[in-house]
Amino acid sequence: MMRRKLAAGNWKMNGTVEDLTQLAEIAGAALETGPEVLLCPPATLLSRAADAARGTWMRIGGQDCHPAASGAHTGDISAQMLRDAGARYIIVGHSERRTDHGETDAIVRAKAEAARAAGATAILCIGETEAQYRAGDTLEVLRSQLAGSVPDDATGDTLVLAYEPVWAIGTGLTPTTDEIGAVHNFLRDRLIDRFGPDTGTAIRLLYGGSVKPANAAEIFAVADVDGALVGGASLTAADFIPIIDALSAA
């Protein structure tokens, strides 16, 4: 099973029109073959970002969606709307959403289902907190998040799973490569148990949390790491392109 590698950038609540120059530069590093390159700018920039990416191989994604297709939900954005603005992927269940907005596994699952219904691929995030990591509960936490938030009909086309240890996000800290390897191996086994060998090996597994040009190559050398979900280092071409290059070389 050949899984296409994926370098995904999550701009979070960063970026105004002037930052589209960075996005356009990054788009130039996306090729037809090799790793897929994705940027998820804030919703305010989505359609402009999609315009900037047109004619390139870079894909554009959203950072969150509402579970419903439309309705009275002031301030929310549906998966259909994100698709309409040019998003191919939608991040769901990011730890910042789980923390800031009280999103449960059930809500995250409904969002992943909404993404699929709209024809977008969900990038579903799971990860343990620092306290859970210190207590040695990482795998149990991930087992439960995976069981609760991944839809039963997930496939390699509709779902990407991102392992983002909460304590590694924005901190400059990362697990050791052995720890990342153990987690990704565990997640792969759980996906095969649940979905069978074909689908279980088709779903891509990303690592996220303080991925930088300096550590990308060693992380991408870990078995079952199919790419990265990058926050801070995806904001500039100078940081993100070396990460894309490291994934190409892995």
Q: Which residues are at the interface with ligand 13P (CB under 6 A)?
A: 10, 94, 164, 169-170, 208-211, 229-233
CB of 89 to ligand 13P, least distance (A): 12
Q: Which is nearer to ligand 13P, 121 or 210 (CB)?
A: 210
Respond yes or no: is residue 32 known to be catalytic: no
Of residues 113, 128, 164, 184, which has the active-site annotation? 164
Residue 36, both tokens: 């897929």
Of residues 66, 94, 96, 184, which has the active-site annotation? 94
CB of 104 to ligand 13P, least distance (A): 19
CB of 250 to ligand 13P, least distance (A): 18
Contacts 24+ apart (CB under 8 A), 38-42: 38/6, 38/7, 38/8, 38/9, 38/88, 38/89, 39/8, 39/9, 39/11, 39/234, 40/8, 40/9, 40/10, 40/11, 40/87, 40/89, 40/91, 41/11, 41/15, 42/11, 42/12, 42/13, 42/14, 42/15
Q: Are 237 and 244 in contact (CB under 8 A)?
A: no
CB of 23 to ligand 13P, least distance (A): 16
Q: Which is nearer to ligand 13P, 82 or 211 (CB)?
A: 211
**In residues, how long is the chain?**
250
- Residues in contact with 120: Cβ distance below 8 Å, sequence separation at least 6, in sequence order: 61, 62, 65, 79, 82, 83, 87, 88, 89, 90
Q: Which is nearer to ligand 13P, 195 or 207 (CB)?
A: 207
Q: What amino acid occupies position 152?
A: D
Q: In the complex, which residue's CB is closest to ligand 13P?
A: 231
Contacts 24+ apart (CB under 8 A), 182-186: 183/138, 183/139, 183/142, 184/222, 184/223, 184/224, 184/225, 185/223, 185/224, 186/139, 186/142, 186/143
Q: Which is nearer to ligand 13P, 105 or 192 (CB)?
A: 105
Q: Which is nearer to ligand 13P, 14 or 201 (CB)?
A: 14
Respond yes or no: is residue 73 known to be catalytic: no
Residue appearing with tokens 């939608």? 90
CB of 33 to ligand 13P, least distance (A): 25
The residues assigned a catalytic role are 94, 164
